[in-house]
Copies of this chain bind each other. A is one copy, B any other.
Protein backbone atom coordinates (compact mmCIF):
# COMPACT_ATOMS: atom_id res chain seq x y z
CA UNK A 1 0.00 0.00 0.00
CA UNK A 2 1.54 3.27 -1.12
CA UNK A 3 1.39 6.19 1.27
CA UNK A 4 2.43 9.81 1.12
CA UNK A 5 4.84 9.42 4.02
CA UNK A 6 8.52 9.24 4.85
CA UNK A 7 8.64 6.21 7.14
CA UNK A 8 5.88 4.60 9.19
CA UNK A 9 7.62 5.50 12.44
CA UNK A 10 7.45 9.24 11.83
CA UNK A 11 3.93 9.76 10.47
CA UNK A 12 2.57 11.29 13.64
CA UNK A 13 5.46 13.63 14.27
CA UNK A 14 5.63 14.58 10.59
CA UNK A 15 1.95 15.51 10.70
CA UNK A 16 2.51 17.52 13.85
CA UNK A 17 5.36 19.40 12.19
CA UNK A 18 2.89 20.17 9.42
CA UNK A 19 0.28 21.41 11.87
CA UNK A 20 2.92 23.59 13.49
CA UNK A 21 3.99 25.04 10.14
CA UNK A 22 0.49 25.64 8.78
CA UNK A 23 -1.35 26.87 11.87
CA UNK A 24 0.29 29.80 13.62
CA UNK A 25 -2.85 30.03 15.76
CA UNK A 26 -1.80 26.80 17.48
CA UNK A 27 1.11 25.91 19.70
CA UNK A 28 2.26 22.48 18.65
CA UNK A 29 4.69 20.63 20.88
CA UNK A 30 5.91 18.08 18.35
CA UNK A 31 8.16 16.22 20.74
CA UNK A 32 5.62 15.84 23.50
CA UNK A 33 2.67 15.56 21.13
CA UNK A 34 0.38 18.21 22.45
CA UNK A 35 -1.57 20.70 20.32
CA UNK A 36 -2.70 23.76 22.25
CA UNK A 37 -4.56 26.86 21.17
CA UNK A 38 -2.08 29.67 21.16
CA UNK A 39 -4.04 31.93 23.54
CA UNK A 40 -4.35 29.23 26.23
CA UNK A 41 -4.97 29.35 29.10
CA UNK A 42 -7.99 31.52 28.37
CA UNK A 43 -8.77 33.46 31.53
CA UNK A 44 -11.82 32.34 33.46
CA UNK A 45 -12.72 29.66 30.96
CA UNK A 46 -13.16 25.97 31.57
CA UNK A 47 -10.72 24.17 29.29
CA UNK A 48 -11.50 21.17 27.08
CA UNK A 49 -8.86 18.54 26.40
CA UNK A 50 -9.33 15.54 24.18
CA UNK A 51 -7.15 13.09 22.36
CA UNK A 52 -6.99 9.62 20.99
CA UNK A 53 -5.17 7.57 18.44
CA UNK A 54 -4.06 9.35 15.27
CA UNK A 55 -5.66 8.50 11.95
CA UNK A 56 -9.03 10.15 12.64
CA UNK A 57 -8.09 13.66 11.51
CA UNK A 58 -9.36 16.36 11.68
CA UNK A 59 -10.44 14.81 15.02
CA UNK A 60 -8.98 15.89 17.50
CA UNK A 61 -6.11 18.22 16.59
CA UNK A 62 -8.18 19.91 13.90
CA UNK A 63 -10.76 20.84 16.52
CA UNK A 64 -8.44 22.87 18.73
CA UNK A 65 -9.30 26.54 18.83
CA UNK A 66 -11.82 29.10 19.96
CA UNK A 67 -15.19 27.52 20.74
CA UNK A 68 -14.03 23.93 20.74
CA UNK A 69 -10.99 22.22 22.28
CA UNK A 70 -8.21 23.97 24.18
CA UNK A 71 -5.81 21.12 23.58
CA UNK A 72 -5.54 17.75 21.91
CA UNK A 73 -3.19 14.83 22.48
CA UNK A 74 -2.56 12.65 19.44
CA UNK A 75 -1.39 9.09 20.06
CA UNK A 76 0.28 6.77 17.62
CA UNK A 77 -1.97 5.68 14.75
CA UNK A 78 -5.07 4.08 16.30
CA UNK A 79 -3.37 3.97 19.71
CA UNK A 80 -4.57 6.12 22.56
CA UNK A 81 -2.11 8.71 23.80
CA UNK A 82 -0.29 8.29 27.11
CA UNK A 83 -1.10 10.02 30.41
CA UNK A 84 1.98 12.29 30.22
CA UNK A 85 0.54 14.00 27.15
CA UNK A 86 -2.81 14.59 28.78
CA UNK A 87 -1.33 15.95 31.98
CA UNK A 88 0.91 18.28 30.02
CA UNK A 89 -2.09 19.46 27.99
CA UNK A 90 -4.22 20.00 31.09
CA UNK A 91 -1.47 22.02 32.74
CA UNK A 92 -1.07 24.16 29.62
CA UNK A 93 -4.73 25.08 29.32
CA UNK A 94 -6.10 25.22 32.86
CA UNK A 95 -7.05 28.75 33.82
CA UNK A 96 -8.02 27.63 37.29
CA UNK A 97 -11.58 26.87 36.26
CA UNK A 98 -10.89 23.23 35.64
CA UNK A 99 -10.47 20.94 32.68
CA UNK A 100 -12.94 18.64 30.95
CA UNK A 101 -11.46 15.52 29.39
CA UNK A 102 -13.48 14.37 26.38
CA UNK A 103 -12.79 10.65 26.13
CA UNK A 104 -13.98 8.28 23.45
CA UNK A 105 -14.99 5.00 25.01
CA UNK A 106 -12.14 2.66 24.15
CA UNK A 107 -10.36 0.70 26.84
CA UNK A 108 -7.06 2.36 26.00
CA UNK A 109 -8.41 5.90 25.96
CA UNK A 110 -10.37 5.35 29.15
CA UNK A 111 -7.45 3.86 31.08
CA UNK A 112 -4.95 6.45 29.97
CA UNK A 113 -7.26 9.41 30.60
CA UNK A 114 -8.15 7.95 34.01
CA UNK A 115 -4.51 7.81 34.95
CA UNK A 116 -3.97 11.30 33.61
CA UNK A 117 -6.90 12.65 35.60
CA UNK A 118 -5.39 11.31 38.79
CA UNK A 119 -2.01 12.77 38.00
CA UNK A 120 -3.49 16.13 37.01
CA UNK A 121 -5.50 16.28 40.19
CA UNK A 122 -2.30 15.61 42.10
CA UNK A 123 -0.99 18.76 40.43
CA UNK A 124 -4.01 20.67 41.69
CA UNK A 125 -5.97 20.76 38.44
CA UNK A 126 -9.69 20.14 38.75
CA UNK A 127 -10.65 17.51 36.18
CA UNK A 128 -13.99 16.23 34.95
CA UNK A 129 -14.44 13.54 32.31
CA UNK A 130 -17.10 12.81 29.75
CA UNK A 131 -17.17 9.47 27.99
CA UNK A 132 -18.41 9.44 24.41
CA UNK A 133 -20.10 6.17 23.47
CA UNK A 134 -22.52 6.74 20.63
CA UNK A 135 -22.01 3.79 18.32
CA UNK A 136 -25.37 2.07 17.95
CA UNK A 137 -23.73 -0.81 16.11
CA UNK A 138 -22.29 -2.16 19.33
CA UNK A 139 -24.43 -3.99 21.82
CA UNK A 140 -24.03 -2.37 25.17
CA UNK A 141 -23.95 -4.35 28.38
CA UNK A 142 -22.49 -4.29 31.84
CA UNK A 143 -20.19 -7.15 30.93
CA UNK A 144 -18.57 -5.65 27.87
CA UNK A 145 -16.36 -2.70 27.08
CA UNK A 146 -19.57 -0.94 26.01
CA UNK A 147 -20.13 1.20 22.98
CA UNK A 148 -17.48 2.91 20.96
CA UNK A 149 -17.17 6.67 20.72
CA UNK A 150 -17.35 7.84 17.09
CA UNK A 151 -19.10 10.73 15.33
CA UNK A 152 -20.77 12.16 18.41
CA UNK A 153 -17.33 13.24 19.61
CA UNK A 154 -17.56 16.15 17.20
CA UNK A 155 -20.93 17.20 18.60
CA UNK A 156 -19.69 16.89 22.18
CA UNK A 157 -16.52 18.87 21.52
CA UNK A 158 -18.31 21.59 19.56
CA UNK A 159 -21.24 22.08 21.91
CA UNK A 160 -19.38 21.71 25.19
CA UNK A 161 -16.64 23.91 23.72
CA UNK A 162 -19.20 26.63 23.06
CA UNK A 163 -20.58 26.24 26.59
CA UNK A 164 -17.07 26.73 27.99
CA UNK A 165 -16.54 29.73 25.75
CA UNK A 166 -19.73 31.26 27.17
CA UNK A 167 -18.14 31.08 30.60
CA UNK A 168 -20.14 28.21 32.09
CA UNK A 169 -18.57 26.49 35.11
CA UNK A 170 -17.06 23.01 34.88
CA UNK A 171 -20.11 21.14 36.19
CA UNK A 172 -22.36 22.72 33.60
CA UNK A 173 -19.95 22.19 30.75
CA UNK A 174 -19.60 18.58 31.86
CA UNK A 175 -23.37 18.15 32.14
CA UNK A 176 -23.90 19.56 28.66
CA UNK A 177 -21.21 17.32 27.21
CA UNK A 178 -22.85 14.32 28.85
CA UNK A 179 -26.25 15.36 27.56
CA UNK A 180 -24.99 15.71 24.00
CA UNK A 181 -23.49 12.23 24.20
CA UNK A 182 -26.67 10.74 25.58
CA UNK A 183 -28.71 12.32 22.84
CA UNK A 184 -26.43 11.11 20.05
CA UNK A 185 -26.18 7.84 18.15
CA UNK A 186 -24.06 6.74 15.19
CA UNK A 187 -23.80 3.95 12.68
CA UNK A 188 -20.99 3.41 10.16
CA UNK A 189 -20.29 1.28 7.12
CA UNK A 190 -17.07 0.44 5.33
CA UNK A 191 -16.68 -0.20 1.62
CA UNK A 192 -12.99 -0.90 2.10
CA UNK A 193 -10.62 -1.49 4.98
CA UNK A 194 -8.02 1.12 5.80
CA UNK A 195 -4.27 0.63 5.74
CA UNK A 196 -2.18 1.66 8.72
CA UNK A 197 1.38 2.85 8.06
CA UNK A 198 2.80 0.31 10.54
CA UNK A 199 1.02 -2.61 8.92
CA UNK A 200 1.55 -1.23 5.42
CA UNK A 201 -1.59 -2.89 4.10
CA UNK A 202 -5.32 -3.25 4.72
CA UNK A 203 -6.33 -4.12 8.28
CA UNK A 204 -8.84 -6.66 7.00
CA UNK A 205 -9.87 -8.24 3.70
CA UNK A 206 -13.11 -7.06 2.18
CA UNK A 207 -13.89 -8.82 -1.09
CA UNK A 208 -15.24 -6.87 -4.04
CA UNK A 209 -19.02 -6.86 -3.93
CA UNK A 210 -19.26 -6.82 -0.15
CA UNK A 211 -19.46 -4.20 2.57
CA UNK A 212 -19.08 -4.14 6.33
CA UNK A 213 -22.00 -2.87 8.38
CA UNK A 214 -21.48 -1.38 11.81
CA UNK A 215 -17.81 -0.52 11.67
CA UNK A 216 -15.92 1.72 14.03
CA UNK A 217 -13.13 4.10 13.17
CA UNK A 218 -10.09 1.93 13.81
CA UNK A 219 -10.11 -0.30 10.78
CA UNK A 220 -11.75 -3.09 12.76
CA UNK A 221 -14.25 -5.25 10.88
CA UNK A 222 -17.92 -4.50 11.58
CA UNK A 223 -20.79 -6.48 13.02
CA UNK A 224 -21.84 -7.97 9.74
CA UNK A 225 -20.68 -8.44 6.20
CA UNK A 226 -23.18 -8.22 3.37
CA UNK A 227 -23.46 -8.06 -0.37
CA UNK A 228 -22.88 -4.49 -1.54
CA UNK A 229 -25.84 -2.17 -1.02
CA UNK A 230 -26.91 1.05 -2.70
CA UNK A 231 -26.59 4.43 -1.06
CA UNK A 232 -30.35 4.36 -0.57
CA UNK A 233 -30.29 0.98 1.16
CA UNK A 234 -27.36 1.93 3.36
CA UNK A 235 -29.12 5.11 4.46
CA UNK A 236 -32.29 3.15 5.24
CA UNK A 237 -30.32 0.64 7.28
CA UNK A 238 -28.09 3.08 9.15
CA UNK A 239 -30.81 5.54 10.06
CA UNK A 240 -33.05 2.67 11.11
CA UNK A 241 -30.47 1.33 13.56
CA UNK A 242 -29.85 4.79 14.98
CA UNK A 243 -33.53 5.57 15.44
CA UNK A 244 -34.34 2.16 16.91
CA UNK A 245 -31.89 3.05 19.60
CA UNK A 246 -32.92 6.61 20.23
CA UNK A 247 -36.20 7.74 18.72
CA UNK A 248 -35.92 11.52 18.79
CA UNK A 249 -38.69 13.86 19.86
CA UNK A 250 -36.68 16.95 19.02
CA UNK A 251 -35.07 18.12 15.80
CA UNK A 252 -31.70 16.56 15.09
CA UNK A 253 -28.24 17.62 14.11
CA UNK A 254 -27.03 15.33 11.35
CA UNK A 255 -23.43 14.44 10.68
CA UNK A 256 -22.87 12.62 7.40
CA UNK A 257 -19.29 11.68 7.94
CA UNK A 258 -16.83 10.32 5.41
CA UNK A 259 -14.38 7.66 6.59
CA UNK A 260 -11.57 9.19 4.56
CA UNK A 261 -11.53 7.96 0.99
CA UNK A 262 -15.13 8.38 -0.07
CA UNK A 263 -15.44 11.28 -2.51
CA UNK A 264 -17.50 14.27 -1.43
CA UNK A 265 -19.68 13.71 -4.48
CA UNK A 266 -20.74 10.36 -3.02
CA UNK A 267 -21.09 11.75 0.50
CA UNK A 268 -23.57 14.38 -0.64
CA UNK A 269 -25.54 11.76 -2.55
CA UNK A 270 -25.62 9.71 0.63
CA UNK A 271 -26.66 12.80 2.61
CA UNK A 272 -29.61 13.16 0.24
CA UNK A 273 -30.69 9.61 1.09
CA UNK A 274 -30.25 10.21 4.82
CA UNK A 275 -32.46 13.28 4.54
CA UNK A 276 -35.00 11.29 2.58
CA UNK A 277 -35.29 8.64 5.31
CA UNK A 278 -35.52 11.27 8.03
CA UNK A 279 -38.25 13.00 6.05
CA UNK A 280 -40.16 9.73 5.70
CA UNK A 281 -39.88 9.27 9.46
CA UNK A 282 -41.06 12.88 9.99
CA UNK A 283 -37.93 13.83 11.89
CA UNK A 284 -37.00 17.48 11.61
CA UNK A 285 -33.41 18.27 10.71
CA UNK A 286 -31.96 21.32 12.43
CA UNK A 287 -28.52 21.33 10.82
CA UNK A 288 -26.45 19.00 8.67
CA UNK A 289 -22.70 18.70 8.39
CA UNK A 290 -21.25 16.70 5.50
CA UNK A 291 -17.58 15.82 5.20
CA UNK A 292 -14.58 13.92 6.49
CA UNK A 293 -14.57 14.75 10.19
CA UNK A 294 -14.05 11.56 12.17
CA UNK A 295 -12.06 9.43 9.80
CA UNK A 296 -10.32 6.13 9.62
CA UNK A 297 -7.26 6.89 7.49
CA UNK A 298 -8.04 5.87 3.89
CA UNK A 299 -11.11 3.79 4.59
CA UNK A 300 -13.94 4.14 2.09
CA UNK A 301 -17.35 4.42 3.69
CA UNK A 302 -19.43 6.72 5.79
CA UNK A 303 -21.21 7.07 9.07
CA UNK A 304 -24.34 8.85 10.17
CA UNK A 305 -24.63 10.52 13.57
CA UNK A 306 -27.83 12.05 14.82
CA UNK A 307 -27.99 14.29 17.87
CA UNK A 308 -31.27 15.52 19.27
CA UNK A 309 -31.09 19.16 20.12
CA UNK A 310 -33.18 21.50 22.20
CA UNK A 311 -32.83 25.27 21.88
CA UNK A 312 -29.82 25.53 24.16
CA UNK A 313 -27.85 22.85 22.37
CA UNK A 314 -28.71 24.33 18.98
CA UNK A 315 -27.60 27.78 20.11
CA UNK A 316 -24.32 26.32 21.31
CA UNK A 317 -23.91 24.42 18.03
CA UNK A 318 -24.40 27.63 16.07
CA UNK A 319 -22.00 29.60 18.25
CA UNK A 320 -18.76 30.76 16.59
CA UNK A 321 -15.98 28.23 16.23
CA UNK A 322 -12.51 28.73 14.85
CA UNK A 323 -10.47 25.61 14.35
CA UNK A 324 -8.58 24.10 11.44
CA UNK A 325 -11.30 21.53 10.86
CA UNK A 326 -14.52 23.34 11.73
CA UNK A 327 -15.05 27.04 11.46
CA UNK A 328 -17.90 29.48 11.35
CA UNK A 329 -19.06 32.74 12.80
CA UNK A 330 -15.55 34.13 13.18
Contacts and interface: CB of A to CB of B under 8 A. Distances in A.
B4 A290 contact: no
Contacts of A17: 269, 272, 275
A289 B289 CA distance: 20
A265 B54 contact: yes
A77 B273 CA distance: 20
Given A292-B292, A298-B262, A268 B4 contact: no
A2 B265 contact: no
A57 interface: yes
A285 B22 CA distance: 9
Contact of A263 (B6, B57, B230): B57
A175 interface: no
A298 B300 contact: yes
B3 A266 contact: yes
Contacts of A300: 2, 4, 261, 298
A203 interface: no
Interface in A151-202: 191-192
Contacts of A292: 264, 292
Interface string A1-28: 1111111001110111111111000000
Given A57-B263, A231-B14, A265-B55, A271 B4 contact: no
Interface in A218-264: 228, 230-232, 234, 254, 256, 260-264
13 contacts: A4-B267, A4-B269, A4-B300, A14-B272, A15-B269, A17-B272, A18-B268, A18-B271, A18-B275, A19-B268, A21-B275, A22-B254, A55-B263
